[in-house]
Structure 1
Amino acid sequence: MGEVSIHSIDWRNLHAQVGICIWRSEDRRHGYGRAGAEWIITWATDHLGLRRLEAWILEDNIASLELFGKLGFVREGTLRKRYLCNGQYMDVHVMAHIVNK
């Protein structure tokens, strides 16, 4: 159905990138991505003790931009023409969640 991931962990500065992917379009918009994202955020902060989480999201992925915004992530910037996708370079928006514990 999909996956959640945490990667690029920086143990010294206690930050990492998180991601979600629901593979089949018919499985999207049913709350699975939100459930996975909520789980990985809780696990990363409570279990691993990370203080900053980032989500790098392609410019055309409106659903993910909206989802991470609802989960408290703030858009911090744009990496222009960062990823090659289907023969075209696309911008990537960087969103971050800071843990205030």
Structure 2
Amino acid sequence: MNIDSDAFPVLETKRLVLRKITNEDANSILNYLSDEEVMKHYGLEPFNSINDALDEISWYQSIQKNKTGIRWGITLKEEGIVIGSCGFHNNVSQHFRTEIGFELSKEQWGKGIAAEAVKAIISYGYEHMNFMRIEALIEPPNRPSQKLVEKLGFIREGLLRNYEFTCGKFDDLYMYSLLKQDFDKCFTHKADE
């Protein structure tokens, strides 16, 4: 898994540019990560200050520097303002696997933006980061995220009981996975249709 800490890969889709998040994006991040609905399944309390957003950005930078992950800011091509983020964390290079995470500003829900962004980073992960397995850990009540990953071919493998302790409570998480050969097969087949 080659994550060059000097170069940040910018990804483009039909409607989006996925780019590095910088401290200049702190206000945008605070805007959507202070929303209780966006944060409902995020594992953190809603953000209260610009320092919360700067801490989040610092984490994005640290996972890239430490080669344990990478996080892209999701922007609409015509606007350039960060409206969400997606990326990989908990990379385990010797096992060629990683976890995926994503969130999106509530104003952008229901438009297919998250699926478009996540599909782009999955493709990048398999083509450029040498992943064979991408995992998604999702709380059972978070049906929209489950539907999103299922649409992209992820398979629910089971329930991890009391897997995380966040916001003062234990959370169960569904374990989803997508293998490279399944993604290739699924999207090669769809391209042929």
Name the TM-score, length of structure 2 as normaliser. 0.49
- In the alignment, does 2:101 pair up with 1:19? yes
Q: Give distance in 2, aligned partners of 1:90 and 1:60.
A: 10
Name the TM-score, length of structure 1 as normaliser. 0.89
Larger-Rg structure? 2
Asked whether the 8 Å contact 1:74–1:95 carries over to 2, the reply is: yes
Higher strand share: 1
Indicate the RMSD between aligned Cα atoms, in angstroms: 1.5
How does 1:15-94 map onto structure 2 within 5 Å? 15-22=97-104, 24-94=105-175
Higher RCO, 1 or 2 (CA under 8 Å, sep at least 6)? 1
Higher helix share: 2
* Corresponding residue SS for 2:114: helix
Q: How many residues were matched structurally?
A: 100
Q: Give distance in 2, aligned partners of 1:34 and 1:8.
A: 21
Runs ≥4 residues deviating over 2 A: 81-90
Structure 2 gaps of 5+ residues are 1-82, 185-193
* Corresponding residue SS for 1:12: helix
Structure 1 gaps of 5+ residues are none
